[in-house]
Structure 1
Amino acid sequence: MQQDARAGRMPGAGRFCTVPGAGAWAGAKVPAGVVVEEYPLPQQHEQVLRELTAEVRESADALRQGGEWTGVALALDAAMARRGVRVRAVYPRALLAVPRHAAHLRRVSEAGVSVRVLDHVPHDLMVFDRQTACLTAGEGAVAPLVRVRGPLLAASFAAIYESYWQRATPLSRTSAGPHHARLGERERAVIRLMTNGYSDERIARKLGITAPDVQSVMAALMERLDAGSRFEAGYKLAREVDPRDL
């Protein structure tokens, strides 16, 4: 593999012609406008991901098996979500059976990430703005990270991700009442008044807050519940929350 020491490229990173899972490319030329690079060292992985998450503007989608990068991934995902980036992540369903992993998934969801679980997550994959994809090349804790840049292949990886996302189950549907216990006093008050037909302005006056505060509470609930509308959020909450507890 050719090494490239030009400015801006990490030592150990180089362009190559084989993409994991695409054996027909072996020995072939990389399509025009596509750059494929391998980063074999763990410290390079984190640096590459930090650079990409700092640059992303619209969307970041991930398949994650869990493991050693979970803490780093949470911090990076939360930073993107705070900037208004749409962040989605699919994790293995088996993580829910381990309390500390299940707690981690809840923290990811609370950080503003839309989380789903799937019976089988084949490998780690991240797609940024449908322009760049990162995936692990092979198995094991020290598997090289591969970065693919260019809309041609990145769009293909985005389509693959979308197929996994559609088959996955929202975290909110994986256990009975997962959001009930986490509702804060303000959230409970907003939900109670909203179910009684109060408008945002009337709720704000009743609670002594502003209408944007009410809207922020509802937006956070919709994100946590993976709901596309207030109606859907209300439907999901109705299945989980006993009205007597509001």
Structure 2
Amino acid sequence: MHPKLAEAYAALLEHPNGDLADFAARLGVDESAARGLLDRLAAMSLVEEREREYVALSPLLAMQQLILRERSLMEQRQEFLRESYLTLTQLMPNWVDRRPGDAAPPLIEEITDLAAVRRRIEELAVGAQHELLALTPPARDPHASRAAARAVDRSVLDRGVVMRTVYPESIVEDAGAYAYAEELAAAGGLVRLCPSLPTRLMLVDRLVAVVPHEPQDGTRGCVILTHPGTVAALVSLFDAYWDAGRAVSAVVDDDECSAMERAVLRLLQQGMKDDAVARQMCLSVRTIRRCIADLMMRLDASSRFELGVGAVQRGWL
């Protein structure tokens, strides 16, 4: 408390009876300054005006009144926010699906401006009513991507919307990405990992799909689709990768074989070459070759065929 306020409060405690003039005289200030001090004390619930006299309340009583007042204001604010939130979430799907003046929602919407892409994706996610599905390969700027997604993801989950996300298994080698996947799972999201993902994909209530304009270049914008047949096909694509994945909590980075190494072995088993494996896992060819060389050394394999045999024998495949 400011020293002058403390002095004013002490003066009222010592001389509980008196008008504004008496109070100003005791403090050695004019009535305007005295009024200002009283107003500040009243705002702190330390003073009440009763029949033209100013009465100092005990600090304990003042604290009780202050808490009650702030609690009431907070409850009113929470009620206002709750009503606003419910109203907006009810209106959002209609706004997302049909803009004013449109005869019908467009079946294809192309957006090339990255800021507009982010806003549109947030609108769609916030407007989800039942389910939000996503295939999420690594982003070009993963830190910024996670920062932008965190508040939206939590908002979706807090409303009880089912959220299923598939990440590539390579995120276990990225502490930040893996920690976010665990955070999402802890918040109620359903998260699975797959060896690789074909593209970035978001599906809202199985009615709207968002895909990159260029699959290999997320900076070129996105395409939003509402054509029922196209969306159904993309839902089937998501379901296939979801069914093939495993829960994030089931991935163990043990001393024998990491999740990334298992993913590399599975892709090699499918006959992929090093550059194809690197593209699938969004890693450099050098990283993939170093991983393969390390696996061959640990299994004492002189060829990739022997590497595959050894991996099967060790239970890595």
TM bin, normalised by shorter chain, reads 0.5 to 0.7
Q: Work out which structure has the larger RCO, using CA pairs closer than 8 Å and 6 or more positions apart in sequence.
A: 1
1:50 maps to which residue?
122
Choose from 227, 244, 267 the match for 1:150.
227
- Where do 4+ consecutive residues of structure 1 move more than 3 Å? none
Classify 1:83/1:167 alpha carbon distance in 2 versus 1 (closer, same or farther; 3 Å). same
Give deviations 1:70-99, integer Å, cap 9, x for gaps. Answer: 322232222111101000000110011121
Choose from 149, 163, 169 the match for 1:87.
163
Q: Which amino acid aligns with 1:145?
A: C
SS in 2 for 1:57: coil
Choose from 57, 74, 78 the match for 2:150.
74
Once residues 78 and 66 of structure 1 are traced to their aligned partners in structure 2, the CA distance between those partners, rounded to angstroms, is 20
**Scaled by the length of structure 1, what TM-score is found?**
0.56
Classify 1:99/1:33 alpha carbon distance in 2 versus 1 (closer, same or farther; 3 Å). closer
1:18 maps to which residue?
none
Classify 1:33/1:53 alpha carbon distance in 2 versus 1 (closer, same or farther; 3 Å). closer
Taking every aligned residue pair, what percent have the same amino acid on both sides? 23
Choose from 201, 209, 212 the match for 1:133.
209
**Scaled by the length of structure 2, what TM-score is found?**
0.44
1:39 aligns with 2:111: yes
The CA deviation at 1:124 is: 0.8
Classify 1:127/1:56 alpha carbon distance in 2 versus 1 (closer, same or farther; 3 Å). same
Alignment RMSD, CA only?
2.3
Once residues 119 and 197 of structure 2 are traced to their aligned partners in structure 1, the CA distance between those partners, rounded to angstroms, is 24
1:13 maps to which residue?
none
Classify 1:108/1:169 alpha carbon distance in 2 versus 1 (closer, same or farther; 3 Å). same
1:212 maps to which residue?
none
Where do 5+ consecutive residues of structure 1 fail to align?
A: 1-6, 10-31, 178-246
- Say whether the 8 Å CA contact 1:133–1:157 is kept in structure 2: yes
Report matched runs for 1:12-27 at 5 Å.
none
Q: Which has the higher helix share?
A: 2
The CA deviation at 1:8 is: 4.4
Q: Which amino acid aligns with 1:112?
A: G
Higher gyration radius (CA): 2
- Say whether the 8 Å CA contact 1:131–1:151 is kept in structure 2: yes
Report matched runs for 1:1-246 at 5 Å.
8=99, 35-67=107-139, 68=141, 69-138=145-214, 139-175=216-252
Once residues 223 and 192 of structure 2 are traced to their aligned partners in structure 1, the CA distance between those partners, rounded to angstroms, is 24
The CA deviation at 1:34 is: 6.2
- Say whether the 8 Å CA contact 1:33–1:150 is kept in structure 2: no
Give deviations 1:84-131, integer Å, cap 9, x for gaps. Answer: 100000011001112122112111212221110111112110011110
Q: Which amino acid aligns with 1:108?
A: L
2:9 maps to which residue?
none
